[in-house]
Amino acid sequence: MATDKNKHLEEVLTSHKISKEQALLDKHIDKRKEISEALQEKYGSDLYSPFNSGSYAKHTAMNKKFDIDLIAPYKRNAFETLEKMYSSVYDFLYDKYKNEATVKKQKVSIGLEFNTDADGDIVKVDVVPGRELNKDQYPDDNNLNLYVYEQFGKIDKGSDRIKSNIKSQIENVKGHAEKDSVRQIIRLLKVWKFYNGKKPKSFFLELITIKAFDKKTISGDIWDKLKAVMEFIRDEVKSVSLPDPGNSSNDIADTLTDSDKDTLSYDMKRMIERIEEDSDTIKSYYPINEKFPPEDEQKSNNSYGVKTGIGLSVPPVTRFG
């Protein structure tokens, strides 16, 4: 039987709602708060108030991968160079958390992946150090310079050119006229990226989705909208420019190489063709999160379970309180 693409996509979104993993999200938020306080204690007046970024702030998060970022905005004179800022923050976080987390240098952030806790959960927080562009101007313009630790698409390692008004990036999605549809499509593309092991950064997918909504008339039901955005990516990814809303001289399109863009265009082409040919294939590109299947299906499948192998159940000595 053919799959109802719209119903399926709605179920994909529901099963990936971040609120489904509230307990895990709370752990991330608590840990981010702890890190923020530690940085404030260490750097004192050299640091403005750290703040949240990432998809949770933009309401485009999905529960398979939390994108919990902490932006640490430093004053202009706090460090001689951006590299020294990056190294100092890394050294501090490494010393503080080395026994309870893997601390690693990433493209523009320092990643902390905490050891599995008693519930089997892993908390990940990315700390993004940034330095204000002009002395004492950050409170007014929110502009920060980031340090690029490793090659990032076409952006060179060691570069300190990324100037980013991260607060503008957050507002970019939140302030879009069709923000609900934009968020839905961004979440779906993140689901596709996550389950299919694809390369584009989430930020890239966010910007190209917004661009598609700005350039094309996108209407209809959810499949129509997703298909329209995928067609835009297929046709335009190789030539599109995606100015960083935090700094228009940064082109986020440069975070992919030409070869990455060819692959992405082909992925979109192939995906559209296959789904149009056989609607069931939408399930493999955009799977439902099995941990939170749609309620009706979940209920109808539920039953009191019996372990494999038949035996007489005899419970152990048990203490109740």
Name the residues that contact another protein, by CB under 8 A. 298-300, 302-307, 309-321
Q: Is 80 helix (H, G, I), strand (E, B) or coil?
A: coil
Taking the least distance from each CB to another protein, the nearer of 259 and 320 is: 320
In the complex, what is the shortest distance from the CB of residue 117 to another protein, in angstroms, rounded to a whole number?
15
- The closest alpha carbon to 24, from 112, 117, 100, 121, belongs to 121
Query: Which residue bears the tokens 């990226």?
Result: 193
Nearer to another protein, 44 or 321 (CB): 321
Nearer to another protein, 99 or 303 (CB): 303
Q: How far is the CB of 231 from another protein (least distance, A)?
A: 40
Tell me the closest approach of the beta carbon of residue 121 to another protein, in angstroms.
13
Rounded-to-integer distance, Cα 58 and Cα 250, Å? 20
Least separation in angstroms between residue 85's CB and another protein is 44
3-state secondary structure of 209: helix
Using the minimum distance from each CB to another protein, give the nearer residue, 44 or 309.
309
Taking alpha carbons only, the member of 50, 317, 28 closest to residue 166 is 50
User: Element (H or E) spanning 69, and its range?
Assistant: strand 69-74
44/305 with CB nearer another protein: 305
* Helix (H/G/I), strand (E/B), else coil: 155: strand
Q: Cβ distance 265 to 192 under 8 Å? A: no
Cα separation of 93 and 95, whole Å? 5
Q: Give the nearest distance from C-beta 295 to another protein in angstroms.
A: 9
- Report the distance separating Cα 95 and Cα 75, nearest Å: 23
